[in-house]
Amino acid sequence: MTARSETGTDPVVVRVDRDRCIGSGMCALSAPGSLALGADGLAEPVAEYAAGGAELTEALTEAVDFCPVEALTLHSAFGGHRIAPAE
């Protein structure tokens, strides 16, 4: 397993707690290639994991921070440690 990335370039996994999500859509605006609203109006990841480098990790971190109900978490695809919100 890969150790924690210090460069933010590892593939990442964004998770949505759909019991918390209220469908505001803010995350889909912040990271439209990675998060979208599903048919039920709640957010869902577009793909199992995202490999967009530091820029995408930054966009997803912003999405996590902007979620009004703290429904999003961002993890490294390697090792699974949480990137955002900070532990």
Binding region for ligand SF4 (CB under 6 A): 16, 21-27, 43, 67-69, 71-72
- Nearer CB in complex with ligand SF4: 3/69: 69
Burial of 29 from C-beta contacts in 10 A (0-12 / 13-18 / 19+): exposed
Report yes or no: 78 and 10 within 8 Å, Cβ to Cβ.
Answer: yes
Provide, rounded to whole angstroms, the least separation between the CB of residue 21 and ligand SF4: 3
* Cβ distance to ligand SF4 smaller for residue 9 or 24: 24
Shortest distance, position 12 Cβ to ligand SF4, whole Å? 16
Closest C-alpha to 77, from 52, 49, 46, 36: 49
